A and B are shown apart, each in its own frame.
Chain A
Amino acid sequence: MRIFERIFGFLTSTRVGITVMVMLALLSLLGATIPQGGSREAYIDAYGRFWGGVISGLGLTDVFRADYFTLLLVLLCIMVFACALKRLPRRIELASGRSFIFDEERLARMPRAGEIAVDLEQDEAVLHVLDVCRRRHYRTFRKREGHKEGIFASKAGYSRYGSFILHLSFIFLLAGGVASTRLGSRHLREIRLGESFALTGLGPDSTVVRVEDFTVETDEMGRLSDYICEVTLEAGDRILSRHTIRPNHPLDYRGIEVYLVSYAEDTERPEAFALSVYDSLGNVVAPHIFAAVDVRNYIEELQGAVQATLGVLPGVRFFPDSGGIQSYMVQRDVLPPDEVEGPYQFVVMYGVPGVLVTLEVVREPLQGLIIAGLALLTAGTFLSLYLSHRRIWFMVTEHSRGTSRVVLGGGASRNPDGFAEEFEAVRRTLDELA
C-alpha cells in the first residue's frame, strides 16, 4: 500500500511536475531551433564535428518523434490527471459545500470583515440579508444554531472546477493525439484534371475522388485570391456527390478528409497549344491558332485543329522531348526538311501547361477527443483564471428588542480588489436599507 502512496505522491508532486514541464520546454526549444530529420553528416557539416556529434548522439535530430519525448508527454499527462484527481474532492467541497460560521472571531479574521447594527427584528434582518445577496446573484443558504442565524452566500462556485477541467483537457488531447498518430493516415496525391483516385483502404466502399476542374481566382488588381478544385465522389458509374475544395474548405466524406494542398504547372501534359502555320516556302499562313487538345493524342489533334481551320492536313514540325514545351521552338530551325509532310507545316509557339493538383487525403479517427480537449482547455483556463469564487458568511443575532446585529466576513478565490469592492457594496446596502 505504501508503494502506491509513494507513487501517487511522486505523480502529484508540484516540484516533479514543474521539472517535467521544464524538460519538455527545453526539448521543444531544441527541437524547434535545430532542424529536424537530418543525417549525422548533415549535422556535422552544419555544427562542426563536436556539436554535430553531440546533437546526433543525444538523439536531438528527431526530438518530437523520440521515445523519451513521448515518455515525458505521457508522464506529464498522467501527473496532470493524478493531480486533478487528488484535488477533485476538495474542489467539489469548495464549489458546492455549504458551511456556516457562528464564531465572531473567525469572521473577523477573514480577508474582508464587518459588522452592522440594523433596526430590524432578527427574522426581518435575515430576509434582508438574503435579499441583498440574491440581488447580487449569490446562492444563499441559512441555518439556525441556538439564537444565532447563519447565512452562507456563494457566487461562481463552479469556477473551482476550472483547474480540474484544464487538467482533464490534457488527457483528451493526448488520447486524441495518440489515436490520430496510431490509427490515422495521411497521403499526398498529385493528380491531373479528369483523373481520379480510389479511397480504397481508407473508405467504407470503393469510392473514388475525381478531379473535374481547377480554377485560380484573382481579385480586381489581378492578385491571386483563391484556388478552387471541383471534385466528384463516385462509386462505379454513380456520382455520389460534387464538392468544391479550396484552402480552409476540405472535403469531408465519412471521416475521410481531402485537402487542397497546392497546385503546379504540368508542362509534360499541356492542355492547349498556340500554333503558327507556314506554307512550304516558309510564309506565314495563319499566325496564331489556339488548339485545346486531349494531351494524350496531341499530334493528331493538333493536325485536326489546323485542318479544321485551313482545310488541309499540315505537316508536323514538332519534336516533343524531355525538355518540355519550350524546346519545341528551339527545334524549329534544326528540323530536317524531309520530315515535313503536306503543303503546310505548323510550329508550336506555346504550350499551355496543364494543372497538377496536390491533394492530401487524411483519416484521423476519434477527432472528437481533440475537439473536446481543446474546448475543455479553453473553458478550464478561463474558468480558473477569469472567474472568482466569492463567499460571504453572515451571522445574525438579536441585539435588543427591534434591533439586530449582523456580523459578516468573506473572501474570494481570485481578484481580491474586485471582491473588496463588492463586499463593501453589500455592507453599505445593508447599512442603508436598515
Chain B
Amino acid sequence: MNWLDLRLAQSTTVIYFAVAVILGIDALLRRVRLRLAWLTILGFGAGVHAAALVARGVALGEVPFTDLFEYTLFMSFAIVLAYLLFFRGRFPTVGALAVVVVAFLLLGSASFLFYSDPSGAMMPALRSHWLYIHVSLAALGETFFAVGFVSSLLYLAKRRAAPEVLESLDRLTYKAVSMGFPLFTAGAMVAGAIWAKQAWGAYWSWDPKEVLSLVVWLVYAIYLHARLVRGLRGTLVAVISILGFALTIFTIFGTMIFGGLHSYG
C-alpha cells in the first residue's frame, strides 16, 4: 500500500484550509490580487484533489465510489468543481469562503477520520454498473444542495442587503436546488431502488440510509412546493434549504451510527 491517495487527500485538505484563510482575509480587505491568489490556489487544490481520486481509483482497481471515504472525497471535489465551473461569478467572496469551508470539512473528515484501506476486499454486491449511476448522481445532487446551502446561508447573513442582492441569492438557491433535486431523485431514490431490488430483492427496505434519503427528498420537495406553488421567497425557504443540507450531511454520516444495509458506505 503506498498511501498516495491519502497523502494527496490530506494535502488537498491543507490547500483548502490555506484558501479559506486567504478568502477570509480577502473578505475583510477586498484586494484584487488576493482574489487572483486564492482562485489560483483553489484551482491547484482541485487539481491535487482530482489526482487523489485517480490515485484512489488505481489503488482500488475500481471507480472510487465504494465507501464513506471515497464518497466524501468525490463529493467535496464535485463541490469545488461546481463552484469553479458554474457558480464562481455568482457568489461574493464570503460565498466562496463558505463553499471552500464545506469542501474542507468534508474532505478533512474523509482524510483524517474515515480513511479506509483500498487493498481490502470490495463487497461482491457492489460489483454492479448501478454503483456508478446511483452514487455519482446522488453525490452530484448533493453537490448542488451544498451550493444551495451556501447561498441560503448568505441570504440569512445578508438579510439587510439591497433587495436585488437578496433576490439574486434566493434565485441562486432555487437554481441549485432545482438542478440537484432531479439528480438526487434519479440517483439516490430511483437508481438506488432498482439496484436494491437486484442486490437485496426489495426496492425498499426501510433501511436507515434509505429512510434518511427519503427525508432529505421530502424536505427539498417541501422547498420546491413552498417556492413554486405557494410562491414563498426569502427567509423561510432559505431555512428549509439549510435544513435540507444539514439532513443530507446527517444521511451521509448516519450509516456510522445507525448501520443497516448501507453500513459499508
Please report A residues at the B interface, Cβ cutoff 8 Å.
Answer: 14-15, 17-18, 21-22, 24-25, 28-29, 31-33, 36, 64, 176-177, 180, 186, 219, 221, 223-227, 246-250, 257, 259, 360, 362, 364, 370, 374, 377-378, 381-382, 385-386, 414
B181 touches A259 (CB 8 A): no
Return 29 A-B CB contacts under 8 Å, by A number. A21-B218, A21-B225, A28-B212, A28-B215, A33-B208, A36-B206, A186-B201, A221-B119, A223-B121, A223-B122, A224-B121, A225-B121, A227-B124, A247-B123, A247-B124, A248-B127, A248-B195, A248-B199, A257-B201, A360-B201, A362-B202, A370-B193, A370-B203, A374-B193, A381-B181, A382-B182, A385-B181, A385-B182, A414-B178
Q: Which of B39-47, B71-79, B103-111, B183-191 contacts A (4 or more CB under 8 A)?
A: B183-191
Given contacts A224-B121, A250-B201, contact A382 B186 (CB under 8 A): yes
Min C-beta distance of B145 to chain A, whole Å: 14
- B118-131 interface code vs A (CB 8 A; 1 in, 0 out): 01111111011010
Given contacts A223-B121, A381-B181, contact A24 B186 (CB under 8 A): no
> CA A229 – CA B185 in complex, angstroms?
34
A225 touches B219 (CB 8 A): no
Q: Which residues of A contact B125 (CB under 8 A)?
A: 247-248
Q: Which residues of A contact B61 (CB under 8 A)?
A: 219
A28 touches B211 (CB 8 A): yes
Q: Which residue of A lies closest to B205 (CB)?
A: A64
Interface of A (DSSP majority class): helix
Q: Which residue of A lies closest to B130 (CB)?
A: A248
Interface of B (DSSP majority class): helix
B211 touches A32 (CB 8 A): yes
Q: Which residues of B contact A221 (CB under 8 A)?
A: 119
B190 touches A14 (CB 8 A): no
Q: Which residue of A lies closest to B194 (CB)?
A: A374
A28 touches B186 (CB 8 A): no
Min C-beta distance of A312 to chain B, whole Å: 46
Asked if B230 CB lies within 8 Å of chain A CBs, one says yes
B225 touches A17 (CB 8 A): yes
B225 touches A381 (CB 8 A): no
Q: Which residues of A contact B224 (CB under 8 A)?
A: 385
> CA A86 – CA B255 in complex, angstroms?
40
Q: Which residues of A contact B186 (CB under 8 A)?
A: 378, 381-382
Q: Which residues of B contact A377 (CB under 8 A)?
A: 185, 189-190
Q: Which residues of B contact A246 (CB under 8 A)?
A: 124
B124 touches A21 (CB 8 A): no
> CA A364 – CA B61 in complex, angstroms?
36
> CA A33 – CA B202 in complex, angstroms?
21
Asked if B3 CB lies within 8 Å of chain A CBs, one says no
B127 touches A64 (CB 8 A): no
Given contacts A225-B121, A248-B125, contact A31 B190 (CB under 8 A): no
Given contacts A223-B121, A259-B200, contact A32 B215 (CB under 8 A): yes
Given contacts A32-B208, A225-B124, contact A25 B215 (CB under 8 A): yes
- B199-248 interface (Cβ within 8 A of A): 199-204, 206, 208, 211-212, 214-215, 218-219, 221-222, 224-226, 229-230, 247
Asked if B254 CB lies within 8 Å of chain A CBs, one says yes
Min C-beta distance of B137 to chain A, whole Å: 10
Apart from A225-B124, A248-B125, what are 16 other A-B pairs with CB-CB below 8 Å?
A14-B229, A14-B230, A25-B219, A29-B211, A32-B212, A32-B254, A33-B258, A186-B201, A223-B120, A224-B121, A246-B124, A247-B124, A362-B201, A370-B193, A374-B193, A378-B185
Q: Which residues of A contact B122 (CB under 8 A)?
A: 223, 225
Asked if B198 CB lies within 8 Å of chain A CBs, one says yes
Q: Which residues of A contact B247 (CB under 8 A)?
A: 29
A32 touches B225 (CB 8 A): no
> CA A287 – CA B128 in complex, angstroms?
46
Shortest 6 CB-CB contacts between residues of A and residues of B: A223-B121, A32-B211, A381-B182, A25-B218, A247-B124, A247-B125
Q: Which residues of B contact A64 (CB under 8 A)?
A: 206, 211
> CA A257 – CA B122 in complex, angstroms?
25
Q: Which residue of B lies closest to A371 (CB)?
A: B194
Q: Which residues of A contact B119 (CB under 8 A)?
A: 221, 223
Min C-beta distance of A91 to chain B, whole Å: 13
Pick the residue among A250, A259, A362, A374 that contacts B190 (CB under 8 A): A374
Pick the residue among B178, B199, B230 that contacts A247 (CB under 8 A): B199
Pick the residue among A18, A226, A385 that contacts B225 (CB under 8 A): A18
Q: Which residues of B contact A386 (CB under 8 A)?
A: 179, 182
B199 touches A28 (CB 8 A): no
Q: Which residues of B contact A32 (CB under 8 A)?
A: 208, 211-212, 215, 254, 258
Pick the residue among A28, A227, A259 that contacts B201 (CB under 8 A): A259
Q: Which residues of B contact A28 (CB under 8 A)?
A: 211-212, 214-215, 218
Q: Which residue of A lies closest to B211 (CB)?
A: A32
> CA A259 – CA B124 in complex, angstroms?
13
> CA A24 – CA B219 in complex, angstroms?
10
Min C-beta distance of A204 to chain B, whole Å: 20
Min C-beta distance of A416 to chain B, whole Å: 9
> CA A180 – CA B197 in complex, angstroms?
12
